[in-house]
Amino acid sequence: MKMEINKDIERILFTEKELSTIADNIAGQINTDYKGKELLVVGVLKGSVIFLADIFRRLSLDCRLDFITASSYGSGYESSGRIIIKKDIDTDIKGKHLLLCEDILDTGNTLFYLRQNLIDRGAESVRICALLDKPSRRQKPVTPDYYGAQVPDEFVVGYGLDYDERYRNLPYIGILKPEIYM
Protein backbone atom coordinates (compact mmCIF):
# COMPACT_ATOMS: atom_id res chain seq x y z
CA MET A 1 0.00 0.00 0.00
CA LYS A 2 1.42 3.36 -1.02
CA MET A 3 1.08 6.14 1.55
CA GLU A 4 -0.23 9.52 0.46
CA ILE A 5 2.69 11.30 2.12
CA ASN A 6 5.20 9.44 -0.08
CA LYS A 7 4.67 12.18 -2.67
CA ASP A 8 6.52 14.60 -0.38
CA ILE A 9 9.69 12.50 -0.41
CA GLU A 10 12.47 13.38 -2.82
CA ARG A 11 14.29 10.05 -2.43
CA ILE A 12 14.66 7.17 0.00
CA LEU A 13 17.92 6.97 1.97
CA PHE A 14 17.27 3.81 4.01
CA THR A 15 14.72 1.07 3.36
CA GLU A 16 12.92 -0.94 6.03
CA LYS A 17 15.34 -3.81 5.49
CA GLU A 18 18.38 -1.53 5.84
CA LEU A 19 16.94 -0.04 9.05
CA SER A 20 16.46 -3.54 10.46
CA THR A 21 20.11 -4.35 9.74
CA ILE A 22 21.18 -1.09 11.42
CA ALA A 23 19.16 -2.00 14.53
CA ASP A 24 20.71 -5.50 14.59
CA ASN A 25 24.24 -4.08 14.38
CA ILE A 26 23.76 -1.40 17.03
CA ALA A 27 22.02 -3.74 19.47
CA GLY A 28 24.82 -6.25 19.01
CA GLN A 29 27.41 -3.63 19.95
CA ILE A 30 25.38 -2.52 22.98
CA ASN A 31 24.93 -6.14 24.15
CA THR A 32 28.70 -6.63 23.97
CA ASP A 33 29.63 -3.35 25.65
CA TYR A 34 27.16 -3.67 28.54
CA LYS A 35 27.42 -7.41 29.16
CA GLY A 36 27.13 -8.04 32.89
CA LYS A 37 25.92 -4.50 33.62
CA GLU A 38 22.47 -3.12 34.28
CA LEU A 39 21.51 -0.53 31.67
CA LEU A 40 18.91 2.21 31.72
CA VAL A 41 17.90 3.06 28.16
CA VAL A 42 16.48 6.58 27.94
CA GLY A 43 14.55 7.40 24.80
CA VAL A 44 14.45 11.03 23.71
CA LEU A 45 10.84 11.53 22.65
CA LYS A 46 9.24 11.64 20.23
CA GLY A 47 11.63 10.95 17.38
CA SER A 48 13.47 8.00 18.90
CA VAL A 49 10.45 5.85 19.72
CA ILE A 50 10.40 3.63 16.62
CA PHE A 51 14.17 3.17 16.46
CA LEU A 52 14.31 2.68 20.24
CA ALA A 53 11.63 -0.02 20.13
CA ASP A 54 13.62 -1.90 17.50
CA ILE A 55 16.85 -1.61 19.49
CA PHE A 56 15.28 -2.41 22.87
CA ARG A 57 13.68 -5.65 21.63
CA ARG A 58 17.10 -6.81 20.45
CA LEU A 59 18.87 -6.26 23.79
CA SER A 60 19.67 -9.36 25.82
CA LEU A 61 20.77 -7.36 28.86
CA ASP A 62 19.33 -6.57 32.24
CA CYS A 63 17.88 -3.24 31.17
CA ARG A 64 15.18 -0.77 32.04
CA LEU A 65 13.45 1.81 29.90
CA ASP A 66 12.54 5.43 30.53
CA PHE A 67 11.83 8.52 28.46
CA ILE A 68 12.67 12.19 28.38
CA THR A 69 11.24 14.87 26.14
CA ALA A 70 13.57 17.70 25.21
CA SER A 71 13.52 19.95 22.22
CA SER A 72 15.20 22.87 20.57
CA TYR A 73 13.05 22.92 17.42
CA GLY A 74 9.42 23.78 18.06
CA SER A 75 7.58 23.59 14.74
CA GLY A 76 10.41 24.86 12.54
CA TYR A 77 13.27 23.10 10.81
CA GLU A 78 16.11 25.13 12.36
CA SER A 79 17.25 24.50 15.93
CA SER A 80 16.72 27.44 18.29
CA GLY A 81 19.69 26.30 20.39
CA ARG A 82 17.64 26.70 23.59
CA ILE A 83 16.84 23.34 25.20
CA ILE A 84 13.53 22.79 26.94
CA ILE A 85 12.84 19.61 28.96
CA LYS A 86 9.13 18.97 28.63
CA LYS A 87 9.09 15.56 30.36
CA ASP A 88 11.82 14.30 32.67
CA ILE A 89 12.78 10.69 33.36
CA ASP A 90 11.08 8.98 36.32
CA THR A 91 13.97 6.67 37.29
CA ASP A 92 16.59 7.39 39.94
CA ILE A 93 19.79 7.48 37.87
CA LYS A 94 22.43 7.73 40.60
CA GLY A 95 25.18 5.22 39.91
CA LYS A 96 23.46 3.83 36.80
CA HIS A 97 24.74 3.31 33.27
CA LEU A 98 22.54 5.26 30.86
CA LEU A 99 22.14 5.01 27.12
CA LEU A 100 20.50 8.08 25.59
CA CYS A 101 18.71 6.97 22.45
CA GLU A 102 17.91 9.63 19.85
CA ASP A 103 16.67 9.63 16.27
CA ILE A 104 19.29 12.02 14.89
CA LEU A 105 22.36 13.78 16.19
CA ASP A 106 22.26 17.07 14.33
CA THR A 107 23.49 20.29 15.97
CA GLY A 108 24.31 18.37 19.14
CA ASN A 109 22.66 21.01 21.32
CA THR A 110 20.04 18.70 22.84
CA LEU A 111 22.28 15.69 23.45
CA PHE A 112 25.15 17.85 24.78
CA TYR A 113 22.76 19.39 27.29
CA LEU A 114 21.06 16.12 28.24
CA ARG A 115 24.28 14.16 28.68
CA GLN A 116 25.76 16.80 30.99
CA ASN A 117 22.48 17.14 32.88
CA LEU A 118 22.32 13.38 33.53
CA ILE A 119 25.99 13.19 34.56
CA ASP A 120 25.44 16.12 36.95
CA ARG A 121 22.52 14.18 38.45
CA GLY A 122 24.75 11.24 39.32
CA ALA A 123 24.68 8.78 36.41
CA GLU A 124 27.76 6.55 36.43
CA SER A 125 28.03 6.76 32.65
CA VAL A 126 26.03 8.25 29.79
CA ARG A 127 26.53 7.07 26.23
CA ILE A 128 24.70 8.25 23.15
CA CYS A 129 22.97 6.07 20.59
CA ALA A 130 21.63 7.85 17.51
CA LEU A 131 20.02 6.30 14.49
CA LEU A 132 21.50 8.99 12.27
CA ASP A 133 24.46 11.32 12.59
CA LYS A 134 24.64 14.62 10.71
CA PRO A 135 28.12 15.90 11.63
CA SER A 136 28.08 18.74 9.08
CA ARG A 137 25.63 20.66 11.30
CA ARG A 138 27.33 20.09 14.65
CA GLN A 139 27.48 23.08 16.97
CA LYS A 140 28.47 21.25 20.18
CA PRO A 141 31.31 18.75 20.73
CA VAL A 142 29.17 15.61 20.74
CA THR A 143 29.82 12.34 18.95
CA PRO A 144 27.56 9.29 19.19
CA ASP A 145 28.92 6.15 20.83
CA TYR A 146 26.59 4.14 18.58
CA TYR A 147 24.98 5.25 15.35
CA GLY A 148 23.43 3.74 12.28
CA ALA A 149 24.66 6.00 9.50
CA GLN A 150 25.88 9.47 8.68
CA VAL A 151 23.54 11.54 6.53
CA PRO A 152 24.01 14.62 4.38
CA ASP A 153 22.76 18.06 5.37
CA GLU A 154 19.28 17.47 4.00
CA PHE A 155 15.94 17.23 5.80
CA VAL A 156 15.29 13.57 6.60
CA VAL A 157 11.97 12.12 7.76
CA GLY A 158 10.41 8.74 8.47
CA TYR A 159 10.96 5.93 10.97
CA GLY A 160 10.22 8.37 13.80
CA LEU A 161 11.82 11.48 12.31
CA ASP A 162 9.36 14.24 11.58
CA TYR A 163 8.71 17.62 10.13
CA ASP A 164 6.09 19.48 12.18
CA GLU A 165 4.88 16.14 13.66
CA ARG A 166 4.28 14.59 10.22
CA TYR A 167 6.02 11.70 8.40
CA ARG A 168 7.05 9.77 11.55
CA ASN A 169 5.01 6.78 10.36
CA LEU A 170 6.95 6.23 7.14
CA PRO A 171 8.56 2.77 7.32
CA TYR A 172 11.75 4.09 5.68
CA ILE A 173 13.90 7.22 5.94
CA GLY A 174 13.69 9.66 3.08
CA ILE A 175 14.69 13.17 2.15
CA LEU A 176 11.83 15.63 2.34
CA LYS A 177 11.29 17.82 -0.69
CA PRO A 178 12.51 21.36 0.18
CA GLU A 179 9.27 22.98 -1.00
CA ILE A 180 7.49 21.24 1.89
CA TYR A 181 9.47 22.94 4.67
CA MET A 182 10.76 26.15 3.07
The answer to whether residue 158 sits within a structural domain is: no
The answer to whether residue 49 sits within a structural domain is: yes
- Select the more confidently predicted residue: 2 or 99: 99
Per-residue confidence band for 74, with pLDDT thresholds at 50, 70 and 90: low
Q: How would you class 5 by CB atoms within 10 Å of its CB: exposed for 0-12, middle for 13-18, buried for 19 or more?
A: middle
> Distance between alpha carbon 3 and the CA centroid of its chain, in Å?
24
Cα separation, 40 vs 13, whole angstroms: 30
For the cut 80, the answer to whether the pLDDT of residue 65 exceeds it is yes
Name the residue range of residue 127's domain.
16-151
Total tally of structural domains belonging to the chain: 1
For the cut 70, the answer to whether the pLDDT of residue 69 exceeds it is yes
For the cut 80, the answer to whether the pLDDT of residue 77 exceeds it is no
Edge to edge, the sheet with strand 146-150 lists 84-87, 62-71, 38-45, 97-105, 125-133, 146-150
For the cut 80, the answer to whether the pLDDT of residue 71 exceeds it is no
Question: Residue 19's pLDDT is what?
Answer: 98
The answer to whether residue 53 sits within a structural domain is: yes
Catalytic center residues = 106
The answer to whether residue 129 sits within a structural domain is: yes
Listing DSSP states for 145-170 in one string gives SEEEEE--SS-EEBTTB-BTTBSTT-
Mean per-residue pLDDT for 137-161? 96
Mean per-residue pLDDT for 168-180? 96
Cα separation, 115 vs 136, whole angstroms: 20
The answer to whether residue 172 sits within a structural domain is: no
The answer to whether residue 162 sits within a structural domain is: no
Question: In CATH, what number is assigned to the domain containing residue 105?
Answer: 3.40.50.2020
Q: What is the mean pLDDT of the chain?
A: 93
